[in-house]
Structure 1
Amino acid sequence: MDVTLDKELVFRNIKVNSDKEVLAYLADQLYKKGFVEESYIEAIQSREREYPTGLPSTQPSVAIPHANYELVHHTTLAIATLENPVVFHNMEDNDSLIPTQIVIMMAIGEPHGQVEMLQKIVGIIQDEPLRKQMVAAETDQILLNLLKKAIA
């Protein structure tokens, strides 16, 4: 699977007040840069309501929102670290809430690509020092390099 990782899709310490706000922001960036259809923006929100993407782990926690591959032009990831955590619902237990500080939005343009990418991202979730480095990254390039290394 060929993944384009673009420095223009790296956002550090953004200020948002909710999961909806960060989802809209990242999906909009993907759309503006031509990676996804405009309908991806709404698709990501409705999918999150039905199938939450907060992953249980030690802090800082990660969410991995994604939507239908048919809405994706080019496979990529958008990543945001949040100045203050926002609450995502737990992927494994809808009623459980997870304060999340890293959001990795997957725009995967192949039917089975999401599973492959999820397996790579699980490595990030299991690596607390890496997650802490991501939140502490002082430049977009450092954060992008950490992401590249993690999914290589």
Structure 2
Amino acid sequence: MKILDLVKKDLVVTKLEVESRGDLFKVLYEKLYSAGFVKESFLDGIENREAKFPTGLQLSKYGAAIPHTDPEHVIEPAVVVATLSQPVIFKSMENPTNDVKVNIVFMLAIKEPHMQLEMLKQMSRILQNDSLLEQMLQANEGDEIIEIIKTA
């Protein structure tokens, strides 16, 4: 399965304005929940897992995060993509004592454990490409983000 199979136009948010990581999680959870992709428990699952296993990644020019949780909170697999108008602080995946100013988020709702690894591999191609990230951050709507992901 490809990441494009899981990214739907309705699950892409551009230039999102939120005050905190918690607010970000609520907005993205609501998108997934209202569309029937996740259970009510998903939000707590995301917050709890992020507290134990941070997902912030400091890239060469930008900060990204890939929050996800256990499959029991997922009904149907999906990926929410959000670009942020102002960075939100996440803890670093590599060193949880470090903060990462995150500009772009890929929230995974994955039902099969093996699919998570595959999604992470596919996302790494995007995250390692500053040009693609720049285009994503400048995009104004979901269709643009999906087209950019197609080129990865």
Could you tell me the TM-score, scaled by structure 1's length? 0.93
User: Which 4+ stretches in 1 moved above 3 angstroms?
Assistant: none
- What residue in structure 2 maps to residue 124 of structure 1? 126
Deviation at 1:5, TM superposition (A): 2.1
Question: Runs of 5+ in structure 2 lacking a partner?
Answer: none
Q: For residue 104 of structure 1, what is the amino acid of its counterpart?
A: F
Q: For residue 54 of structure 2, what is the amino acid of its counterpart?
A: P
Task: Give the count of matched residue pairs.
Answer: 150
SS of residue paired to 2:137: helix
**Contact 2:9/2:142, CA 8 A, preserved across alignment:** yes
- What residue in structure 2 maps to residue 7 of structure 1? 9
Q: Matches of 2:140 and 2:42 in 1, distance apart?
A: 30
Q: For residue 7 of structure 2, what is the amino acid of its counterpart?
A: L
Deviation at 1:39, TM superposition (A): 0.3
Partner residue of 2:34 out of 32, 35, 44: 32
SS of residue paired to 1:35: coil
- What residue in structure 2 maps to residue 68 of structure 1? 70
Deviation at 1:23, TM superposition (A): 1.3
Q: Matches of 1:81 and 1:88 in 2, distance apart?
A: 14
- What residue in structure 1 maps to residue 141 of structure 2? 139
SS of residue paired to 2:131: helix
- RMSD over aligned Cα atoms: 1.3
Question: Runs of 5+ in structure 1 lacking a partner?
Answer: none
Deviation at 1:94, TM superposition (A): 0.3
Going from structure 1 to structure 2, the CA distance change for 1:40 and 1:148 (only over 3 Å counts) comes to farther
- What residue in structure 2 maps to residue 96 of structure 1? 98
Sequence identity of aligned pairs in percent? 37
Alpha-carbon displacement from aligned partner over 1:79-137 (angstroms, at most 9, x marks no partner): 11000011110001000111011011011111211111111111111101110100001
- What residue in structure 1 maps to residue 44 of structure 2? 42
Deviation at 1:30, TM superposition (A): 0.5
Could you tell me the TM-score, scaled by structure 2's length? 0.93
Deviation at 1:59, TM superposition (A): 2.6
SS of residue paired to 1:8: strand
